[in-house]
Amino acid sequence: MAVVAVANGGFRGPVLLYRTGETLGHVASTALLVGHVEGAPASVTLGQYDVLAGQVRIVPLASLVAPSLFGRQLTPPLRLSGPGDSVRTIMKKLINDPDGVVDEMLDGMTAAHPDRLRRLPDTQVLVRDDGPVDGKVALVTGGGSGHEPTHAGYIGDGMLDGAAAGDVFSSPTADEFEELIGACDAGDGVLAIIKNYEGDVMNFETAIELAEMEGVEVESVVVNDDVAVEDSLYTSGRRGVCGTILVHKAAGAKAAQGADLPEVARVAEKVVDNVGTMGTALTSCVTPEKGEPTFELGDDEIELGIGIHGEPGTERTETMRADEITEHLTDAVLDDLDLDEGQEVLTIVNGMGGTPQMELFVVNRRLQELLGERGLETCDAWVGDYMTSLDMAGASITVCAVDEELKELFDAPVDTPALTTK
């Protein structure tokens, strides 16, 4: 049975699926396997597991040989097509080995910015090349990779002092966070900015405890700006998404002014209390490890209220016009913030990694109209890819209520690989 099952699987990929299409191929493959089971006498099937006859060796042998025989044929990029089907690519990415993609990305970042970034040896931690910076509170963060330019893209003057990169959509370890904190501390304390995902929170909290035992003063702020869901697949409470970038910006500017750790933490919390975000997915994303979409969306479907790891949203609905999607996201954010008429806001239209700038500007057009209809004033509007989800097509909308203090901090100069203002 093991031999037949392995052979059937090998036959299914390169032959059946290629010639008949995925759906018919799987049906035919199943029928062939079931037919074998039903048609073979029980004595024959049981004989395959007769220890005395030595046949049990077939099972481990098949398990050992099958990956070599058929795995290479099924390794992406594999193109499947059939009569009447359009060609579909399971995975086509500029990567070498999925297991090494984060390491190679970090090396590529440091090679692109050798005067800004350096990598701590034997870690997935990047820090300022000129750090730790004397006389300044250090800002650190981190999380799973796949959200670039978040996190390390915001290391530099006016924002972060360092960031730890986990594997794709996976939190860095507590050890990595501890290394990060220790490398960035110049004696004035460290603020850890944590997106509200259970792995990030747990590992950062452990790292903070270890750092404090070494005499480092650490405070933390947890960002939970996603208004879509209260609890989700990876969180207790609301998720931390694109609003995190504004926490980096305001707190980073305050630290650059020479403020002490409690003041920097206060500003960070102030942004958290006044920011909301909601996103939508037009397509899923494809992780390098899986080589297939993290969730399925029909050609005429979109997902509203998604997270940045492909988590389910609040509603799956038919495709809508850009204005309708913008209205849905904006209304949800503004209803959550409950702002008074005349309030000034900063907005972000953030691409999820696979959406052209053209479409993001279309969204921003309607967003600004909606804010005007509610009597809100926009002091600044950011449009671009700030916190992505690999190659997902979609966007998120962030609105942050501002006062004179936050306006000044958001306008302050910043010099990082991903964001530079004078």
Query: Is residue 321's pLDDT more than 90?
Result: yes
**Residue 5's pLDDT band (cuts 50, 70, 90):** low
pLDDT value at residue 268: 98
pLDDT value at residue 361: 98
Angstrom distances, CA of residue 20 to CA of 8, 14, 259: 15, 11, 66
Closest to 276 measured CA to CA, from 401, 398, 403: 398
Closest to 248 measured CA to CA, from 305, 194, 186, 168: 194
C-beta separation of 254 from 267 below 8 A: yes
Domain with CATH 3.30.1180.20 in the chain: 276-401
Angstrom distances, CA of residue 409 to CA of 188, 237, 248, 275: 20, 28, 10, 15
* Ranges 104-113, 184-193, 221-230: which has the least confidence: 221-230
- CA–CA distance, 321 with 304 (Å, rounded to integer): 13
Per-residue pLDDT tens digits for 90-127: 578 999 999 999 999 999 999 999 999 999 999 999 99
Query: Is residue 175's pLDDT more than 50?
Result: yes
Query: Is residue 195's pLDDT more than 70?
Result: yes
* Ranges 184-188, 313-317, 367-371: which has the least confidence: 313-317
**Residue 74's pLDDT band (cuts 50, 70, 90):** very low
The catalytic residue positions are 147, 309
Q: Which fold has domain 102-271?
A: Rossmann fold (3.40.50)
Q: In the chain, how long is the greatest CA-to-CA distance?
A: 85
Per-residue pLDDT tens digits for 129-161: 999 999 999 999 999 999 999 999 999 999 999
- CA–CA distance, 368 with 318 (Å, rounded to integer): 24
Angstrom distances, CA of residue 57 to CA of 6, 41, 48: 14, 21, 9
Domain with CATH 3.40.50.10440 in the chain: 102-271
Look up residue 375 and give its DSSP letter. T
Q: Which fold has domain 276-401?
A: Hypothetical Protein Tm841; Chain: A;domain 3 (3.30.1180)
pLDDT value at residue 292: 84
pLDDT value at residue 219: 98
C-beta separation of 402 from 270 below 8 A: no
pTM for the structure as a whole:
0.79
Query: Is residue 286's pLDDT more than 70?
Result: yes
Per-residue pLDDT tens digits for 243-274: 999 999 999 999 999 999 999 999 999 999 99
Tell me which of 62 and 323 has the higher pLDDT.
Answer: 323
Closest to 197 measured CA to CA, from 149, 144, 138, 151: 144
For the chain, the average pLDDT equals 85
Strands (E) located in 236-314: 275-281, 301-304
pLDDT value at residue 196: 95
Look up residue 68 and give its DSSP letter. I
